[in-house]
């Protein structure tokens, strides 16, 4: 109560009602080492209802993860270690960034997938831990929870335990206003083991017993339905929605502390109690960690934190195929060849797709499918669950030890955007593969033809977006994505393209493909439109107009170059014409004129749609001529 009061901001109600649960988890159930938060075989705990962050911060403070009382007093303040919602990499002991409801639940499913795969590959002595996730009514209302729960039940992820905080309150009021779901029945239909724990939220021994039962259950993930009372033991706001999103006033805090029988002073935490609590957690954790180290001494060098699922740049470079100049492949087809060629040096890659495995290139044909019966398989079939796939990939990446690759059609990035955004916010090493990248999709029409998606992904801070022009750029894009310290979106073509480049431009984000003496203009192409740019340059050459052609697969990588290097590739004193089969939004940063598609597409053969919407060499040449006259 004290931290939200001091901040005049925050959600204490859920944290109050779940304090006994959190105490039991950290002090009796979780296998964790506060002195080594990244201990590989630790249990993972995710607070999916991340608005209750003060609950986790309080436990990290008590358990000895490095948070001190001064950090709690700076709750939700600038540059504090205790932000409004938990952020991975910002606060030791936080496993994923949560807040958007349901995301943490789906992240937990991904973590459980990663754990089960690594357990099968390395053996139970090396990897054998649980993923616990606390979720509220809001998490289970969000559609992503339906997708993720269905997938988890199908895969029988029995090292996954979800504690459903059934407090029946949302910000607007009682859940009866909006929801009549039978959550236990719903999860049973997904194939989960369901424990309806009832009114035990204040009974630590009963909580321990039910958690141990859930931990030891085999054959299915477990949902514990815990009936709690938001704001308890407040004499004024228990079971009231006002306890949810507004900090208690000072009188309400004082009244609750009186009920609890503790001194009415801010941030009361006796030093002896805190010291003993930390000693207990550290002793338990260090013993578990030491036991794991002893068991794994001779098992696998891959379990070293420095190599756990981390790609080696030199090994990847030596395995990459080089495609001759007469190669004609869709970049989605090239990606599959590259993915398989590097499989031997990256055995930790888990590839999959949302029911479009063969269409996207996110396929490892030399491996078996990951399933409930075959945890060592490396091909994951996510089904038609794009949102859950993306969020599970984030969980897998943050678990560590695997590199998740997931594909779908580019237009369906819209279903994945919340998880992609959180991947970027979390610096999660994920590779999102999007094929069918333009109106070249053709006959399926505007519902399946991405136009604005490329610009929208480029707008996400921390997301590396690469749209390779041919097979060689695709190879280099994969090498860069696999070694990038964060998420990458690979944007791949459905239609066949000719190998025009050696792929070297991907590293800088752009490079000169056709270089002439005394260029009068520059044409910039990406993806399948690079060939349009080259053909336009040829048309202009016949008229005595000399232009450079630049391939620009990645704005983000280009933006990281020095200004001098940028000006060397794209001199600012020349007209610069971009050509890309998508919205021209954003191109003003690099181009003086843009050829693109600032409307939705149409149903017709792909080449017809491209031509009708102006993605042709003749139109690009005309725009270049006009630019030279300006």
Residue 580 domain boundaries: 507-629
Same domain membership, residue 290 and residue 321 = no
- Signed CA dihedral, 406, 141, 215, 219: sign only: negative
Same domain membership, residue 129 and residue 234 = yes
Same domain membership, residue 263 and residue 137 = yes
CB atoms within 10 A of CB 271: 8
User: What is the DSSP code (8-state) at residue 370?
Assistant: P
Rounded distance between C-alpha atoms, residue 339 and residue 160, angstroms: 30
Going by C-alpha positions, the residue among 459, 561, 442, 576 that lies closest to residue 519 is: 576
Active site residues: 386
Q: What is the pTM of this model?
A: 0.97
The answer, yes or no, to whether residue 505 has pLDDT greater than 80, is: yes
**Which of 252, 267, 295 is where one domain is finished?**
295
CB atoms within 10 A of CB 337: 18
- Signed CA dihedral, 44, 398, 296, 278: sign only: negative
Q: What is the pLDDT of residues 222-275, one digit of tens each?
A: 999 999 999 999 999 999 999 998 899 999 999 999 999 999 999 999 999 999
Q: What is the pLDDT of residues 547-583, one digit of tens each?
A: 999 999 999 999 999 999 999 999 999 999 999 999 9
Same domain membership, residue 189 and residue 326 = no
Looking only at Cα atoms, what is the longest distance across the chain? 90
Q: What is the pLDDT of residues 337-352, one digit of tens each?
A: 999 999 999 999 999 9
**Which of 449, 474, 498 is where one domain is finished?**
498
Q: How many domains does the chain have?
A: 3
Rounded distance between C-alpha atoms, residue 69 and residue 57, angstroms: 10
Only one residue has tokens 């339906």, namely: 146
Same domain membership, residue 543 and residue 449 = no
Instruction: Determine the average pLDDT of the residues in 487-510.
Output: 98
The enclosing domain of 29 has a CATH number of: 3.40.50.970
Are the C-beta atoms of 397 and 429 separated by less than 8 Å? yes
Which pLDDT band holds residue 113 (cuts at 50, 70, 90)?
very high
The answer, yes or no, to whether residue 184 has pLDDT greater than 90, is: yes
| Mean per-residue pLDDT of the chain | 97
Those residues whose C-beta lies under 8 Å from the C-beta of residue 287, and which sit 6 or more positions away, are none
Same domain membership, residue 458 and residue 352 = yes
**Which of 269, 295, 321 is where one domain is finished?**
295
Rounded distance between C-alpha atoms, residue 608 and residue 590, angstroms: 28
Q: Following DSSP, what letter does each residue of 415-426 receive, concatenated?
A: HHHHHHHHHHHH
Rounded distance between C-alpha atoms, residue 350 and residue 155, angstroms: 15
Same domain membership, residue 473 and residue 589 = no
Q: What is the pLDDT of residue 300?
A: 66
Same domain membership, residue 323 and residue 458 = yes
Going by C-alpha positions, the residue among 502, 568, 567, 561 that lies closest to residue 530 is: 502
Question: Is residue 307 domain-resident?
Answer: no
Q: What is the pLDDT of residues 584-621, one digit of tens each?
A: 999 999 999 999 999 999 999 999 999 999 999 999 99
Same domain membership, residue 521 and residue 491 = no
Q: Following DSSP, what letter does each residue of 247-303 receive, concatenated?
A: PPPHHHHHHHHHHHT--SSTT---HHHHHHHHHHHHHHHHHHHHHHHHHHTTT-GGG
Question: Is residue 303 domain-resident?
Answer: no
Rounded distance between C-alpha atoms, residue 198 and residue 174, angstroms: 18
Q: What is the pLDDT of residue 245?
A: 85
Token pair belonging to 554: 């990645």
The enclosing domain of 619 has a CATH number of: 3.40.50.920
Rounded distance between C-alpha atoms, residue 514 and residue 71, angstroms: 56
């Amino acid at each position: 109560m004290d931290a939200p009061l001091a901040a005049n901001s925050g959600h204490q109600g859920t944290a109050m009602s779940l304090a006994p649960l959190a105490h039991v988890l950290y002090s009796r159930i979780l296998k964790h080492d506060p002195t080594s938060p990244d201990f590989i075989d630790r249990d993972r705990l995710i607070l999916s209802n991340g608005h209750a962050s003060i609950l986790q911060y309080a436990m990290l403070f008590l358990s000895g993860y490095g948070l001190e009382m001064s950090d709690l007093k700076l709750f939700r303040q600038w540059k504090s270690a205790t932000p409004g919602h938990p952020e991975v990499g910002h606060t030791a002991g936080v496993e994923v960034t949560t807040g958007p409801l349901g995301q943490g639940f789906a992240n937990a499913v991904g973590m459980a997938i990663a754990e089960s795969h690594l357990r099968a590959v390395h053996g139970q002595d090396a990897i054998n831990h649980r993923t616990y996730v606390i979720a509220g009514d809001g998490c289970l209302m969000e559609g992503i929870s339906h997708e993720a729960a269905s997938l988890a039940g199908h895969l029988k992820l029995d090292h996954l335990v979800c504690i459903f905080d059934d407090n029946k309150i949302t910000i607007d009021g009682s859940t009866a206003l909006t929801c009549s779901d039978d959550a236990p029945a719903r999860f049973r239909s997904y194939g989960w083991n369901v424990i309806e724990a009832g009114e035990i939220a204040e009974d630590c021994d009963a909580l321990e017993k039910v958690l141990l039962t859930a931990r030891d259950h085999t054959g299915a993930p477990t949902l514990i339905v815990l009936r709690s009372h938001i704001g308890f033991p407040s004499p004024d706001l228990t079971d009231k929605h006002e306890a949810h999103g507004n900090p208690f006033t000072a009188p309400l805090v004082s009244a609750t502390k009186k009920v609890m029988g503790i001194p009415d002073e801010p941030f009361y935490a006796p030093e002896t109690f805190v010291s003993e609590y930390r000693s207990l957690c550290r002793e338990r954790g260090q013993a578990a960690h030491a036991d794991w180290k002893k068991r794994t001494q001779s098992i696998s060098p891959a379990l070293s934190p420095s190599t756990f699922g981390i790609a080696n740049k030199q090994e990847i470079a030596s395995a990459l195929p080089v495609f001759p100049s007469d190669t004609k492949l869709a970049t989605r087809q090239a990606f599959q060849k590259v993915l398989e060629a590097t499989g031997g040096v990256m055995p930790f890659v888990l590839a999959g797709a949302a029911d479009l495995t063969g269409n996207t290139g996110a396929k490892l044909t030399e491996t078996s499918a990951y399933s409930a019966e075959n945890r060592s398989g490396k091909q994951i079939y996510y089904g038609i669950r794009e949102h859950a796939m993306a969020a599970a990939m984030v969980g897998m990446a943050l678990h560590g030890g695997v590199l998740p690759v997931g594909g779908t059609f580019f237009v369906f990035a819209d279903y994945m955007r919340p998880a992609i955004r959180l991947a970027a916010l979390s610096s999660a090493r994920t590779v999102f593969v999007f094929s069918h990248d333009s109106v070249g999709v053709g006959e399926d029409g505007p519902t399946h033809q991405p136009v604005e998606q490329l610009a929208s992904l480029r707008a996400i801070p921390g997301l590396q977006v690469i749209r390779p022009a041919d097979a060689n750029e695709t190879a280099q894009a994969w090498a860069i994505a696999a070694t990038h310290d964060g998420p990458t979106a690979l944007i791949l073509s459905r239609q066949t393209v000719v190998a025009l480049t050696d792929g070297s431009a991907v590293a800088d984000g752009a490079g000169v493909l056709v270089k002439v003496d005394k260029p009068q203009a520059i044409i910039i192409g990406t993806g399948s439109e690079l060939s349009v740019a080259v053909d336009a340059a040829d048309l202009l050459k016949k008229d005595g107009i000399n232009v450079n052609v630049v391939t620009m697969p990645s704005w983000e990588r280009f933006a990281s170059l020095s200004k001098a290097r940028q000006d060397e590739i794209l001199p600012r004193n020349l007209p610069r014409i971009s050509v890309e089969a998508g919205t021209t939004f954003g191109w003003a940063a690099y181009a003086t004129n843009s050829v693109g598609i600032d409307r939705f597409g149409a149903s017709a053969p792909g080449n017809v749609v491209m031509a009708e919407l102006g993605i042709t060499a003749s139109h690009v040449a005309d725009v270049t001529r006009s630019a030279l006259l300006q």
